[in-house]
Chain A
Amino acid sequence: MGKPSDLVQGTLDVLILKTLSLEPKHGWAIAKRIQQVSGDVLQVQQGSLYPALHRLEQQGWVRAKWAETETGRQAKFYSLTAAGRKQLDQETANWRRLSAAIDLVIQHT
């Protein structure tokens, strides 16, 4: 359950951007974090995560840098760019509007 393909189109992007808004993370940590925060409801498949990350990078919303992890290994850390932050705000607002609307419909019918 909770396969990202079930998610509304583009939602994975918001999740990733949001996760990165606090601090830079590598792919593994992003997946873990989304899983944790959602209380294991959302499990991001690698087959979706990496294409999404690369797409965001191509779009210039995130920037990648190789750095050491706390365990001393080299990993690719993604961080949010200014444009990415703007995109996140916009997407978040969109999401709020959409989910509120869906809520309304569900409650009133």
Chain B
Amino acid sequence: MRLLDKLRMRLRMLFSRKREVHRLDAELNFHLEELTAENIASGMNPMEARQAALRTFGNPILVREQAGDTWSWNRLERLVHNVRIGIRTLARTPGFAVVSILITAIGIGTNAALFTVVRSVLLKPLPYRDPSRLIRLYEHSTDDKFPRNDVAAGIFAEWKRQNHGFSELAILQSDLGYNLSASGGQLPEKVSAAVCSWDLFPTLGVLPALGRGFSETDDRPSASATAILGWGLWKRRFGGDPAILNQAIHLDAKVYTVIGIMPAWFSYPDQSVQLWTPIYHEINADEMRALDSHDFVVVGRLRPKVTETEAATELSLITARIHNQHLDDPYISKAANSQPLLNDMVGEIKRPLYVLLAAAGCLLAIACLNVASLLVARGATRRRELAIRSALGASRLHQLGEQLTESFLLSVTGGGIGLIMAQLVLRWFASTRQDMARIESIHIDGIVVSFTVVLIVLSAFLAGVISSFSIKSDQIVRALQESSRSQSAGQGRVRLRRWLLSLEVGLTVILLVGAGLLLKSYERLRSVDMGCVTKNVLTMQFSLPEEKYSQPVQRANFFSNLIERVRSLPGVRSAGLVRKLPGQGYAGDTSFSIAERPPLQTGQMQYAMVRWADAGYFAAMGIPILRGHTFDEHQWPGGASQVIISQSFAHQYFEDEDPIGKHLLTRVLPAINPTLFQGRHYGEIVGVVGDTRFHVSKDPQGAMYFPIYSGTFGSAALAVQSDQEVSRLALPIQRIVQQLDPDLAVADILTMDRIIGQSAMDSSFNATLLFVFAVFSLVLAAVGLFGVLSYLVAQRTTEIGIRIALGAQRDEVLRLTLLDGLRPAFIGLVIGLFGSIAAAQFIRSMLYGINPFDPAVFVCVAAILILVATAACVAPAWQASRLDPMTALRSE
């Protein structure tokens, strides 16, 4: 009953407040009139009666307020009131409002965007069942050089047979593709795919959206070929038609039955993979038994109550046992290694993302400081108003409330705009960073919105509280006195603003140094000598399907036809073939021994990177032949016995000896060269070529080149160098490929510059983003400096006028004012340089080829900062020195 009454009361107080105010007035009036009437009745005349009544009654306004104070929703009413006042004051200074809102929007927007990325990519659990139990497993190489090496399938088989720690264990290989043959009027295309054991999807705990997953019987060499499609590929290529289930498609000219479609959200191992086939069916049994070819990824699901360490230790023991049984083969690892699957997927981007988030945090702090500083400045111009209001009885709390409401208004509007900006930024981010792991999972969710709300509240408080520091009740009187002649501003207020500025400048310096280091490191990266020509080189990839080109001779024929025709195209200077281009990654190594040397001791490892190329490759890529010559024309299947080594290889294994004419024994040779040397298959070193880099940021390694015309592989990259704009050649070359084989898809048509650009993408992205942040904060700091000094000069107009009138030199005035403005900049610079030393330490691992304390960067940043600060201070200082004393004195 009472609750109901109270509720009704509350509603009435909320919705008909105006009427209640009227009623209160009427009630009090009635009382007053009764009082007057009583007085008249006791014999006073009406005038006297009313005055007496008023005297007894007291101040009606006060009574009204006191009665009103008991009402509910008073807080709300005050808030509405404050908001109204806030909007009004902001509207009165639209320039200030717009600038502050924009600054806040940029600060909050960048933070919301980066937090979204960090959360989606790093913090959110993987979208698989019970993802914390998923572990990525590695071999630990015997020489400790690769603690997280890929796993040999033979080792995996033993792990799977003997382990007790994992409920599921799956193996896969992802860097491969299939030619999806032309069908239904669509062009052939190369599709990124993964081969995986049948239990990969059960391990991840994912079911296909349509159809079924692989079964154990699909995952055998003898099974009929099956494939599972990714949602994207299914929608794009097959129009999302469920009828494709149990239908045949042609992959590499072989027939596969589509048995399932994965859900749209699913991606593993990365977004580009759109097709899965069973590994034991696809990869030959020898390779699946090999204990020392480290080519596979292994994922496991921990059994309940088993820890990662326990499980990994057991796998290490199993591996060590196998190692000890084959002591003659040092390439069999002796330990296993592990890490959570999430770490494996995002490990590399963790630090850069956190660095960017920290930078965004700095930017927001600078934005808040700037808004606070603007509020302080504006507070200063409203000083007299505030003092008068205080004198009239406005409480300090009340004023603080108003100030906070105002900064909340700014933050909320700025934050709202910032959130919209974040949405746009994220869309751009997702489209530029397709390569980043889990990029598809990035979107703004409830947590991000809450984070943004927290940021809004924090920045409002920061700005509001800092700026209201300067309202001190004991200053009221002084403010009123001071304002009687405004020759000097409240010193406290100016000191506060100076400190804010110093802090702002300090943070800016840190951002500038960080950006400078990353930019310089990026520039180093881009100017790295790849060991080959990168200008005007066009590359493209293709792979000849097994079915159609089963014989090495067929492949070699195709290669030679292609090269011949491409070379005869007008504009082509040279053309060559290679399996992996510089900048495209490590792509495997193999062990070798030198025939002219005594055999290696048991357990000693000697391996080098493997490349397959044709005779024209070195010329086409501008890789110098330092000694000997390139491959002979006759390096065809059955007779390919030549090897070319890189400079590093020569240096490492032959030192001062001449490697030409020496013989290498490696396991890749028996297949391509049936002839024997000293009773073994051999390769004769015919040339030494310059080093190339397999990744821009990695030093070159020793490499062996084998003749690609041996026809061992059907996949290759074509590299073409031209005198003219090389991309013009893309179409004619594609036409040649089409003429040779209409079903063959050409993929990744890229210039060499692009390939290196992609390989330096991370670095360019981080550098650019940090640079943008740094420029923003530099501008903010400059605006801050300019604002403070202009304000100071304006406040001191009279004083300066008097000085000049008394004979102060204008140069002296200029110098003094300038120094006044620059002091906070210098203090900030010192703070910032110290801060930068710490920050540089943090980004050390992101740098390439430069010292984190690179003096050039630090000096440069200091110079830029002083320059910008001076530029920001010169105008107001100049203005001060040019003051006309008469005008200045009259301005009061």
User: Looking at the complex, which one of A26, A54, A63 makes contact with B71 (CB distance below 8 Å)?
Assistant: A54
- Asked if B34 is at the interface (CB within 8 A of a chain A CB), the reply is yes
Number of chain B residues close to chain A: CB under 8 A: 28
User: Looking at the complex, which one of A50, A51, A57 makes contact with B9 (CB distance below 8 Å)?
Assistant: A57
A81–B9 Cα distance when bound, in Å, is: 13
Contacting pair B34 A28 (CB below 8 A): yes
| A63 proximity list for chain B (CB < 8 A) | 5
Q: Which residues 55-69 of B sit at the A interface, judged by CB distance below 8 A?
A: 56-58, 62-63, 66-69
Given contacts A46-B31, A50-B27, contact A83 B2 (CB under 8 A): yes
Q: Which residues 22-40 of B sit at the A interface, judged by CB distance below 8 A?
A: 23-24, 26-28, 30-31, 34-35
A53–B69 Cα distance when bound, in Å, is: 12
Contacting pair A76 B27 (CB below 8 A): yes
Contacting pair B27 A27 (CB below 8 A): yes
A51–B6 Cα distance when bound, in Å, is: 17
- Asked if A97 is at the interface (CB within 8 A of a chain B CB), the reply is no
User: Looking at the complex, which one of A50, A73, A74, A82 makes contact with B28 (CB distance below 8 Å)?
Assistant: A50
| B13 proximity list for chain A (CB < 8 A) | 58
Contacting pair A45 B1 (CB below 8 A): no
A81–B400 Cα distance when bound, in Å, is: 40
Q: In angstroms, how far is the closest chain A Cβ from the Cβ of B8?
A: 9
- Who on chain B is nearest to A56 by CB? B70
A55–B70 Cα distance when bound, in Å, is: 5
- Asked if B72 is at the interface (CB within 8 A of a chain A CB), the reply is yes
A55–B72 Cα distance when bound, in Å, is: 9
Given contacts A28-B30, A74-B26, contact A59 B6 (CB under 8 A): yes
Interface of B is mostly: helix
- Who on chain A is nearest to B68 by CB? A54
| A82 proximity list for chain B (CB < 8 A) | 1-2
Number of chain A residues close to chain B: CB under 8 A: 25
Contacting pair B27 A58 (CB below 8 A): no
- Interface centre among B27, B28, B69, B72, by most A CB within 10 Å? B27
Contacting pair B2 A47 (CB below 8 A): no
User: Looking at the complex, which one of A27, A46, A57, A66 makes contact with B58 (CB distance below 8 Å)?
Assistant: A46
Mask, B696-707, CB within 8 Å of A = 1, is 000000000000
| B56 proximity list for chain A (CB < 8 A) | 46
Mask, B1-25, CB within 8 Å of A = 1, is 1110110010001000000000110
| B5 proximity list for chain A (CB < 8 A) | 60, 63, 81, 83
| A28 proximity list for chain B (CB < 8 A) | 30-31, 34-35
User: Looking at the complex, which one of B6, B24, B66, B70 makes contact with A47 (CB distance below 8 Å)?
Assistant: B66
A51–B64 Cα distance when bound, in Å, is: 8
- Asked if A14 is at the interface (CB within 8 A of a chain B CB), the reply is no
Q: In angstroms, how far is the closest chain B Cβ from the Cβ of A38?
A: 17
Contacting pair B66 A27 (CB below 8 A): no
Contacting pair A83 B27 (CB below 8 A): no
Q: Which residues 14-37 of A sit at the B interface, judged by CB distance below 8 A?
A: 26-28, 31
Mind listing 14 A-B residue pairs with CB under 8 Å?
A: A27-B27, A27-B30, A27-B31, A28-B31, A31-B31, A46-B56, A47-B62, A47-B63, A50-B24, A51-B67, A51-B69, A58-B72, A76-B30, A81-B2
Interface residues of chain B, those whose CB is within 8 Å of chain A, are 1-3, 5-6, 9, 13, 23-24, 26-28, 30-31, 34-35, 56-58, 62-63, 66-72
Interface residues of chain A, those whose CB is within 8 Å of chain B, are 26-28, 31, 45-47, 50-51, 53-55, 57-60, 63, 66, 73-76, 81-83
